[in-house]
Structure 1
Amino acid sequence: MPNALFSATARPLLVVYVAWHPAFKEGAAIAETLRKHFRRELYENVAGGTGLSVIFRSEPAPGSSRPLPIDLDDAETTAIVALADSSLANDAGWVSYLRELASQTAEAGLNARLFPVSIEHAGLLVDEQALRWDQWAQTLTGEDLHLRLINELTYEFCRMLRHYLEHLRRPTEDDDALVKYLQKVQIFLSHSKHDDDGERIARLIREQLYVGHGLGSFFDVHDIPAGLRFHEVLLKQVAQSAVVAIHTDSYSSREWCRREIIEAKRRNVPLVVANCIENLDERGFPYMGNVPIVRMDPQQATRIHVIIGRLLDEVLKDFLWRCRIQLAGGVEQTVFFVPRVPELISLAGLPSVDEVPHPTIVYPDPPLSAEEERLFEAVAPHVRLHSVTEWLAEETI
């Protein structure tokens, strides 16, 4: 019998449409930037195939002045990004098309959203809150402007998938009841207080999260108070948590920093390492691997927007993976899903051999390298390791 995960994910989890008026000269370049970001390997492993599907709507359909319609039933969730400039605003056919999309997504509920991007003030055409490219362009240019749009959209996709995940978990509850589950994602800024850089950089990241992008409505930023056990905090917030580890010179030497990393790995929460080494790390901590590492000069601290962007990517990947697993349903209790490539610390999250003699760890593609598999075989020969594609292939035989 085919595995439930195989049949349940026949439809893509998230499809992104990008629509722009053909007279808007920058539209194709912006759309291509979005396509490259969301289709790249970053999202292949959790979304399957070649990353998220990004489909363009610009040229008119044959015999029409408007693009092809969008079928919201083609995916579990659908995001429509409309690049609204003066060319679109002055074309009655396109204005009608955009307003029909707004009505269509409103009727579909929160599994489909229209995200207008106001390229110019004239592009404010629908009731949905627009992403204000026109305002960002007053202080940003080029790559930074595109990165701002990517970060804002990733944030919005996270919110949409968070709602969808709660709907999968509680299908009998209506949208009003689900609102109470839309709590903020907890971000823990793990840093050393024993050098000059750790606390200062943590403060800068916190400020940019709350001020620079308005992400305070989605993220709740914390340090772990002294004397409070990190694992107890994460246990209470594990379903909606993420960690930024600010790796300064003294970080690996601090017991609590090491414990925070270990607990984050054991709980499989999204984790990004900000490499802020100024001079020397005497003993690199081995459990800080298998996650994105962003290099940042601790004195300049000019790449905080990149750290935030990677954090958003990791949170979105986590929601995609959770949705994919939730859609599976009814999976044997001997199968354990982890959202990133397994490492030896992944074994710490498994039940005892007496409880589950032969557990299977299923992880996002691609499969582990041969040398990594040999290491697992030497340490835990009773544990089976499968990428999700390998597992699906075995289950459908």
Structure 2
Amino acid sequence: MIEWLAQQWNERHFPNKTEEVVSDPTRPFFVVYVAWHPGFTDGGSIAEAIRGHFRRELYENVAGGTGLSVVFRSLPPPGDSIPLDIDFDEAHATAIVILTDGTLAAAPQWVAYARALGERAEATGLHVRTFPVAIHQTVLAPLNMTEQALRWDQWNGDLQTRTKRLLSELTYEYCRMLRHFLARLQRPDEDEAALEAYLRKVQIFISHSKHDDAGERVARLIRDRLQDGHGLASFFDVHDIPAGLRFHKVLLLQVRVSAMVAIHTDTYSSREWCRKEVIEAKRHNVPLVVANCISDLDERGFPYMGNVPVVRLDLDGQDRINVVIARLLDEVLKDFLWRCRIALSAETADPAVIFIPRPPELITLAALPPEADIPAPIIVYPDPPLSTEEERLFAEIAPRVQLRSLTEWLSGAVR
């Protein structure tokens, strides 16, 4: 009976997808494992920080449940000296973070455990990756792992500062993984080499006003940090809209693979091109972060800069640049998680069903097809559902449009 129900679910939601992708609708699509030797004093706190970061509400709404699944591998079962093995078939994509300190490097069975995970991951494919974290430089030689390690030992700062850096580095790596995973879902017949051709850089638009020195200066700081950061330049293509080129010709050709940082200085809202950039980003559901750099006042707040994360960035607080970039990475990862989840758990062939990666707002209506083409569109967005007040406003302005959170839609809540 259970097998029959699973088959019916698959036939309804995945009429064109391969058996490999849809064999189990309850199978998580992305699971994170954190492994560390129990003798590593700070291992537990670092692992808890990873779990707290990726299970917070930010990711719950796009990944479902309580956010990303984060599983620990540290304490071995009774009578053994290493933790339980990791089953790569339990999820569609698996990331394994190995906190490698001197205690682990001095334990032969743990070294063998870490090496075996790396070798198995390499043989499995790019949807399974191991990420060694070198707590001390001396651990790399004993491990002899071929994966490029995250160099905790070379970062500055105390435990809390380095942990924040690790969270950003992992978020970036997970973005890379899910970009590849999404390409594999969309092109299941392509081999790994062919898929690489489809993996374009994620475009980053730094939207700022050129009519004050602050906007230019902050834009350069963010651009330099992205281009100089570990691996970011190979993943992101950082630029703004060059002067002299037609806005729509440049932006609209690339916006669907973009993310945007809007540097909100005092003159930002008064500039026509800045407003156009934000509106186009909103119309195409681009991941967007606002860096609030207001120093005095904004004469007319721009309404379309709402419904997205806002990070306070003092003009003299260069240390907050990392916070802006970390939040941008979060938004990019959320976008990939949402698109993967839709590809795995929802039927996308119905043109009347429109999936968007964040809660709808009135500008969402501007991107809908004409009523003659789709009389009754259904907008599906990440949980939780909108408030009653927001739904009432939509009902008054666009009564033909149905708004449903993903959970509501999957449960059949349509009129």
Range into which the TM-score falls when normalised by the shorter chain: over 0.9
Superposition deviation, residue 223 in structure 1: 0.9
Corresponding position of 2:383: 365
CA deviation after TM superposition for structure 1 residue 229, in Å: 3.4
- Residues 9, 320 of structure 1: alpha-carbon distance in 2 compared, 3 angstrom cutoff: farther
Q: Structure 1 pair 7/393, CA: closer, same or farther in 2 (3 Å)?
A: farther
Report the TM-score when normalising by structure 2. 0.92
Measured after TM superposition, the shift of residue 281 of structure 1 is 0.3
**Does 1:128 find its partner at 2:147?**
yes
**Contact 1:230–1:263, Cα closer than 8 Å, also in 2:** no
State the alpha-carbon separation in 2 of the partners of residues 141 and 394 from structure 1: 50
Q: Equivalents in 2 of 1:142, 1:65: separation in Å? A: 27
Equivalent position amino acid for 2:407 in 1: T
Q: Secondary structure at the match of 2:111?
A: helix
Change in Cα spacing, 1:300 to 1:163, as seen in structure 2 (3 Å) is same
Q: Tell me, yes or no, if structure 1 residue 63 matches structure 2 residue 79.
A: yes
Matching of residue 338 in structure 1 with residue 356 in structure 2: yes
Out of 204, 210, 213, the residue aligned to residue 193 of structure 1 is: 210
1:226, CA displacement in angstroms? 1.8
Shift of 1:78: 0.2
Deviates further, 123-132 or 246-255: 123-132
Map 1:1-397 onto structure 2 (within 5 A): 2=9, 4=13, 9-124=25-140, 125=143, 126-136=145-155, 139-327=156-344, 328-394=346-412
For 1:8 and 1:92, the matched residues in 2 are separated by 37
1:303 partner SS: helix
Identical amino acids, percent of aligned pairs: 65
Deviations along 1:73-104, whole A, 9 cap, x unmatched? 11110000000011000101101100110111
Q: Distance in 1 between matches of 2:293 and 2:274?
A: 14
The CA deviation at 1:8 is 6.2
Distance 2:170 2:414 in 1: 36
The change in CA–CA distance for 1:231 and 1:267 in structure 2 (over 3 A counts) is farther
Q: SS at 1:257's partner residue?
A: helix
Q: CA deviation at 1:45?
A: 0.4
Question: What SS is found at the alignment partner of 2:238?
Answer: strand
Q: Equivalents in 2 of 1:351, 1:295: separation in Å?
A: 36
The amino acid of 1:42's aligned partner reads L
| CA offsets 1:11-66 (integer angstroms, 9 cap, x no match) | 11210000000000000000000000000001000000000000000001222111
Q: CA deviation at 1:323?
A: 1.0
Return 5+ residue gaps in structure 2 as ranges.
Answer: 1-7, 15-21
Structure 1 residue 72 displacement after superposition: 0.8
- Please give the secondary structure, in 1, of the residue aligned with 2:319: coil
Residue type matched to 1:193 in 2?
K
Amino acid at match of 1:321: W
Q: Which secondary structure state, in structure 2, belongs to the residue aligned with residue 318 of structure 1?
A: helix
* Distance in 2 (alpha carbons) for counterparts of 1:324 and 1:235: 25
SS in structure 2 of the partner of residue 181 of structure 1: coil
Q: 1:67 to 1:396 in 2, by over 3 A?
A: farther
Residue 9 of structure 1, CA deviation: 4.5
Aligned equivalents of 1:273, 1:93: Cα separation in 2: 48
Deviation at 1:329, TM superposition (A): 4.3
Q: Aligned partners of 2:295 and 2:25: how far apart in 1?
A: 46
Secondary structure of 1:236's counterpart equals helix
C-alpha distance in 1 between matches for 2:215 and 2:25: 42
Work out the CA distance in 1 between the residues paired with 2:231 and 2:90: 32
Aligned residues: 395
1:242, 1:315 within 8 Å by CA — same for their partners in 2? Answer: yes
